[in-house]
Amino acid sequence: MLFSSLIFVLLFLPIFIFAYHAVARNPYNIKGANIVLVLASLIFYLFGGAFGVLMLFIATIVGWSGGFLVDMTRNKPGARKAVFAFMVFLLVGMLGFFKYAGFFSNIVMPVGMSFYIFKLISYVADCYNEKTEPEESFVAFLIYTACFHHVMQGPIIRYPDVRESIYNRTYSIANMSKGIYRFSLGLFKKTVLADHMGEISDILLPVNDTITSVPALGVWMGMFAYSMQLYLDFSAYSDMAIGLGQMIGFDYPENFNYPYISKSVKEFWNRWHISLSTFFKDYVYIPLGGNRKGEGRRNFNLLVVWLLTGIWHGATVNFVLWGVFYFVFIEIENYSQGIQRLPGLIKHLYTILVFSIGWLIFKCTDAGVLGKAFLGLFGINKNGFTNAAVRLTLSNNLFFIIVCVLACTPLYHAIDKKLAAGVKKNTVPAGVLFGLRTIISFAALIVAIYVMAGSSFRPFLYNQF
């Protein structure tokens, strides 16, 4: 079951909200509310198969017990380090086995394992570094691991950031309204914008040998279309996860901060998939020494981080190449001052070019197809610059493409933020903002449901990871 399915929007979510409200209404029954949330999360995840639920339980038990074992050896540094290393080894081993065993067998990795394993690693590491105390309640810990809001595609939440909310959160109509608004926008972004942009990308940038028949302009536009699809798709999931959390009083961290407005590759990665970037920074880069042990060690640490980032997405050559690709550009920016002196517009265009080519590498899992795509960018496939099919695709979707470009910018958010600021200053009536958000939420839901009912189903792109 996915957030962008009719069964979730029209059946699962309304039943969950009704059951949660019945239990959690004043006086606030946090224990009952948590039990409802756990049961709903397990039912949600069960749609992916009973084996996936079993592996989720096993991983959760490993992480939960790991916190206790690390804490029990607090006064024995050697044993403590050994226990920590062993627990991380177990968790990484589980992920590695299921992620890469598919190359040699028919084993399929449970959905969301890449994300919940990283959450568990961060928990054990935080216990080891004494940033959090071991959680005594398995139910509370299961909420952290298995909550249906973020079990499938993150964000990769740290336990200290949600522990207080698990035990003491506010359930109110205001939070519910705010959450529905955020969820609705995410659902619209996914089903209306991202999915249709995916159709354009599939036409102009097919990941098979037919790419040799696409002219240069088609390959370029297909690459840009895929870049927009990926952002709109993945950020939509984060919007929906954050909105679901807001509905019942959780405040999850933002996972995207309009990365496509960046003016450097380093800035891009401070804005894209923030929870993954900070995970590798806090649990890999800094423990390896960060930039504290000289340039040579820093460069090695960065290479390790980017290789692991690529391998986390998959074991095919393109993901390793994708990681190395970003390592190279990060290093170029570390050593070159010339890029920083360029005009802002040029830096922005340079960044767009870099991440778009990066997404081209990301999309083409077959090395042969990737090579043909690069040849196509420069017209070496001998198909000319454009043709009637490419021109027709672009002209028929011009308005839609403009809307998607604007959706990748903070324009809409800036307008909403300005209205909210006006409410605080009493220059904008609170009813105006509430009314606008209600209308937008309702319209977005209706349009998204209409599109879901009348089009073929497209899963979230990051489900495969």
Q: Looking at 150, 196, 273, 313, which residue is catalytic? A: 313
d(CA 24, CA 251): 17
d(CA 342, CA 349): 11
Residue by residue, DSSP assigns 312-342 as: HH-SSHHHHHHHHHHHHHHHHHHH-STTTTS
d(CA 163, CA 67): 14
Question: What is the phi/psi pair of residue 240, to 5°?
Answer: -70, -40
Residue by residue, DSSP assigns 26-62 as: SSP-HHHHHHHHHHHHHHHHHTT-HHHHHHHHHHHHH
d(CA 99, CA 316): 11
Q: Where are the alpha helices (DSSP H) in 248-289?
A: 265-271, 274-280
d(CA 154, CA 420): 28
d(CA 369, CA 318): 11
Q: Which of 352, 112, 408 is nearest to 232 (CA)?
A: 408
Q: Radius of gyration of the chain from Cα atoms?
A: 23
348 is catalytic: no
Nearest 5°: CA angle at 458, between 326 and 223? 35
d(CA 331, CA 264): 12
Q: Is residue 167 within 8 Å of 133, Cβ to Cβ?
A: no
Q: Which residues are catalytic?
A: 313
